[in-house]
């Protein structure tokens, strides 16, 4: 579109031809897992998208240029370079102007996907309303982006360290539909259920694609959440994960961890306290989401022909 946004030739050709494309974030590479697990996860996500007939478009800022679609060398750069900042909506222009690198969050990846014309995005879990937000006002920019940006986000619900009830209330207030794929309940990242429901259940990618087409035809703006539970064989038990989260939250309070550092701290402690099993679960739910996102993108593509 401009010198500041470069769409990879393969992605551009797919968009022109009406071939399915799935956007992927890059924060999961630079901040989600340690090396080499981060590189393995990123490459596996791209492989799964291709296996399902879609072109992957991993999004990041490289040298001050927003990229929709990365080379393997660029993915390796993100996976091995320390200190790459997270890039949300507020950060994009600053990083671009400074010629910097940036790993895009859910919010920023949605923005870039919409700029590029990509309608489906796969991630692990969205951000949301933090516990204690009534005092801290700590609410993820992901939720505001979902309210304004016309991209479907396939996720395993919201990260379970958040206040899921308030997160769903916020989404309802902003008119963001939460569609359950094969489920009536809202998943809680590491677990398949949270005790909260979804707005509607759909059991096929084609049915979800039909909702997305209807929204566009009706001129309804904003994003859609497709809540896709972690596969049953990979979920952690409620009892275990709830106990681990409470311990991690107490440690964060004791150590004075605040603001944007809270979620990375909590996820790191959950990884340690579960002996690495949370990392394995995290990978599997991401792969599951990429697979579904590619199928939804395929159904959208079929419906537009």
Indicate if 159 belongs to the active site: yes
pLDDT category at 88 given cuts 50, 70, 90 is very high
Q: Is the pLDDT of residue 32 over 80?
A: yes
| pLDDT at residue number 7 | 97
Which listed residue (74, 159, 235, 279) is catalytic?
159
What is the length of the chain? 305
Q: Is the pLDDT of residue 49 over 70?
A: yes
| pLDDT at residue number 276 | 86
Indicate if 86 belongs to the active site: no
Among 135-149, 228-242, 259-273, 284-298, name the most confident range. Answer: 284-298
CATH code for the structural domain at 124-305: 3.40.1790.10
How far, in Å, CA of 99 to CA of 141, rounded? 23
For 117, counting Cβ atoms within 10 Å of its Cβ (0-12 exposed, 13-18 middle, 19+ buried), the class is: middle
| pLDDT at residue number 138 | 83
Mean pLDDT within 149-169: 94
Percent of the chain with pLDDT over 90: 80
Mean pLDDT within 171-180: 98
| pLDDT at residue number 136 | 77
| pLDDT at residue number 260 | 67
| pLDDT at residue number 304 | 64
Strands 55-62 and 65-68: antiparallel
Q: Is the pLDDT of residue 305 over 70?
A: no
| Phi/psi at 217 (5° precision) | -65, -30
pLDDT category at 1 given cuts 50, 70, 90 is low
Instruction: List the single range of 30-34, 89-93, 262-266, 278-282 with lowest mean pLDDT.
Output: 262-266
| pLDDT at residue number 300 | 97
pLDDT in tens, 287-298: 999 999 999 999
Average predicted confidence (pLDDT) for the chain: 94
Mean pLDDT within 215-236: 97
| pLDDT at residue number 191 | 95
Domains 1-118 and 124-305 fall in the same CATH topology: yes
What is the homologous superfamily of the domain 1-118 according to CATH?
Indigoidine synthase domain (3.40.1790.10)
Is the peptide bond preceding residue 69 cis, with omega within 30 degrees of 0? no
Taking alpha carbons only, the member of 136, 196, 204, 201 closest to residue 172 is 196
pLDDT category at 268 given cuts 50, 70, 90 is confident
Cβ atoms within 10 A of the Cβ of 32, count? Answer: 22
Instruction: List the single range of 24-33, 36-45, 263-272 with lowest mean pLDDT.
Output: 263-272
Taking alpha carbons only, the member of 281, 276, 267, 266 closest to residue 229 is 281
Domain parsing of the chain, residue ranges: 1-118, 124-305
| pLDDT at residue number 134 | 76
Long-range contact set of residues 191-199: C-beta below 8 Å, sequence gap at least 24: 191/160, 191/230, 191/235, 191/236, 191/237, 191/238, 191/241, 192/229, 192/230, 192/232, 192/235, 193/229, 194/157, 194/160, 194/164, 196/164, 196/165, 196/168, 198/227
For 104, counting Cβ atoms within 10 Å of its Cβ (0-12 exposed, 13-18 middle, 19+ buried), the class is: buried
């Amino acid at each position: 579109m401009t010198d500041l946004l470069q769409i990879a030739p393969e992605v551009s050709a797919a968009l022109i031809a009406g071939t399915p494309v799935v956007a992927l974030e890059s924060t999961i590479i630079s901040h989600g897992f340690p090396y080499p697990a981060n590189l393995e996860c990123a490459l596996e996500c791209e492989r799964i998208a291709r296996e399902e007939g879609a072109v992957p478009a991993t999004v990041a800022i490289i040298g001050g240029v927003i990229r929709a679609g990365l080379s393997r060398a660029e993915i390796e750069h993100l996976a091995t370079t320390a200190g790459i900042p997270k890039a949300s909506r507020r950060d994009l222009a600053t990083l671009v102007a400074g010629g910097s690198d940036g790993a895009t969050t859910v919010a920023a990846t949605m923005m870039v996907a919409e700029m590029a014309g990509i309608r489906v995005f796969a991630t692990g879990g969205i951000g949301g309303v933090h516990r204690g937000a009534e005092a801290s006002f700590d609410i993820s920019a992901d939720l505001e982006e979902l309210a304004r940006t016309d991209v479907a986000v396939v996720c395993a619900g919201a990260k379970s360290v958040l206040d899921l009830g308030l997160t769903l209330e916020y989404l309802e207030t902003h008119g963001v539909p939460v569609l359950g794929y094969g489920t009536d309940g809202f998943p809680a990242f590491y677990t398949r259920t949270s005790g909260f429901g979804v707005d509607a259940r759909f059991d096929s990618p084609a049915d979800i694609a039909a909702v997305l087409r209807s929204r566009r035809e009706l001129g309804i703006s904003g994003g859609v959440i497709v809540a896709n539970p972690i596969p049953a064989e990979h979920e952690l038990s409620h009892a275990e994960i709830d106990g681990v989260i409470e311990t991690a939250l107490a440690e964060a309070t004791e150590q004075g961890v605040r603001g944007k550092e809270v979620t990375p701290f909590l996820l790191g402690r959950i990884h340690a306290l579960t002996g690495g099993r949370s990392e394995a679960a995290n990978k599997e739910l991401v792969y599951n989401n990429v697979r579904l996102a590619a199928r939804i993108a395929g159904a959208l593509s079929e419906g537009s022909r």
